Amino acid sequence: MGGTFDPPHLGHLISAQFVADELNLEEVIFLPTGNFSYKDSYETAEAQRRYDMVKLAIADNPKFSISDIEVRQKEYSYTCFTLEKIRKLYDNSRIYFIIGADSLDYIDSWKNPQHIFEQCTIVAVSRKGFSQEDLNEKRGELLKRFEADIIILEMPCIDISSTDIRKRIRENKSVNYLVDGRVAKYIEDNNLYK
């Protein structure tokens, strides 16, 4: 499961657990992006901090792990190349790439989508603003254009986003029950997102 995780929240964890259970996965690897994927103008946390927060958030779950493949990279990291590396490390394993419905909507604008789809099965989970029909339509389109292997998993929408969490922090509101308690403490101790 790739992401900026800026910060990681319960929506990420619930989705990952849901997919792991539905597909009976051995392991879910969280892949925080490196420093070059800043995507909005708000104050964002550095790669090392985002990596630390994901590590704290998944600490209790033996099925969850974290990879620094993208974080340690000097250049911009692209999913198609990250998947190559993961496949080398996990030779003989079937690889699923877990994303939310919003990411499925624009995955074909990522670098070399054909190469992404060749290397993994995409698993897309529900997210607010995207209906099941939207998802199925997109799945059909990507199947036609790229022969993409995509599984759509319907789950209750968890309406939590990192953008909203960063906003809440700027407004001095609590993020209790939106992020893991250790992540909340890390944010506070390091004065992030203010």
Which parts of this chain interact with ligand ATP (CB under 6 A)? Answer: 3-6, 11-12, 15, 99-100, 102-103, 125, 127, 158, 160-163
- The Cα–Cα gap between 33 and 138 comes to 25
* Three-class secondary structure of residue 189 per DSSP: helix
Residue 32 contacts residue 5 (beta carbons within 8 Å): yes
Angle ∠(39,56,164) on CA atoms, nearest 5: 40
Omega before 7 within 30 of 0, i.e. cis: yes
Q: How far is the CB of 92 from ligand ATP (least distance, A)?
A: 26
Nearer of residues 32 and 73 to ligand ATP, judged by Cβ: 32
Comparison of 30 and 81: residue with beta carbon closer to ligand ATP: 30
Nearer to ligand ATP, 73 or 135 (CB): 135
Give 91 or 103: the residue with its C-beta nearer to ligand ATP: 103
Q: CB count, 10 Å around CB of 74?
A: 8
- Nearest approach, Cβ of residue 86 and ligand ATP (Å): 16
**Cα–Cα nearest to 43, from 7, 1, 76:** 7
| Closest CB 150 distance from ligand ATP, rounded Å | 13
Residue 153 beta carbon to ligand ATP: minimum distance, rounded to whole angstroms? 10
Residue nearest to ligand ATP (CB): 100
